[in-house]
A and B are shown apart, each in its own frame.
Chain A
Amino acid sequence: EAGVAQSPRYKIIEKRQSVAFWCNPISGHATLYWYQQILGQGPKLLIQFQNNGVVDDSQLPKDRFSAERLKGVDSTLKIQPAKLEDSAVYLCASSLTGTLGYTFGSGTRLTVV
């Protein structure tokens, strides 16, 4: 089966600019997650979707980050405006059943200068 697709692979922007990341999960996976991984740290969950509804966005900095999952399939994560501390790898994952069968995409490496 095809994996979780993410784009772009890399992105460099200046602070205060906006950026968007895209994720296409594995077909049939109802749950989609966005994680932020700062260099040298473990991934931190930003938001969890079940179909097109938000299950958990408690760690999403809502003043600058937004995410949507229209039609319960692919998802976009947006940062506006970006800060230097947003430099990280943004990972998308999807699962069929809860935490079983979690599959990660290759991630988008964001550098804010």
Chain B
Amino acid sequence: SQQGEEDPQALSIQEGENATMNCSYKTSINNLQWYRQNSGRGLVHLILIRSNEREKHSGRLRVTLDTSKKSSSLLITASRAADTASYFCATDVGGSEKLVFGKGMKLTVNP
């Protein structure tokens, strides 16, 4: 079963613009993670935010978490063509030791 749901499902922007993607989930979590997947490749971990954190930064990435709304957002600033990929949010459902992934969001950054 899918826990997270990314929104929008697809986004196309120009290089240099910011990209925001949202994730909603259903049950309590200990942490929420964002992953990137280039076409036909494995998943690459981007950033993790714990349930007691509200915002976290890593380079051009900014993630927020609102546990009251069971939602998270990932902001990629000053996007590059190389950011073109699918992005997934994943949560540890009920604090379990396994990640449950959303359906993903396809980001296209046009040069």
Contacts and interface: CB of A to CB of B under 8 A. Distances in A.
B94 to A, nearest CB: 11
A99 B43 contact: no
A110 to B, nearest CB: 13
A107 B42 contact: yes
A106 interface: yes
B25 interface: no
Q: Majority SS of interface residues in chain B?
A: strand
Contacts of B80: none
Interface residues of B, number: 24
Interface stretch (A38-46, A62-70, A71-79, A80-88): A38-46
Nearest to A106: B42
A91 B41 CA distance: 10
Interface of A: 31, 33, 35, 40-45, 48, 50, 55-56, 89, 91, 93, 95, 98-100, 102-107, 109
26 contacts: A31-B97, A33-B99, A41-B104, A42-B4, A42-B101, A42-B104, A43-B101, A44-B2, A44-B101, A48-B97, A48-B98, A50-B97, A55-B97, A55-B98, A56-B98, A93-B43, A98-B92, A98-B97, A99-B33, A99-B97, A100-B31, A100-B48, A102-B45, A105-B42, A106-B42, A107-B41
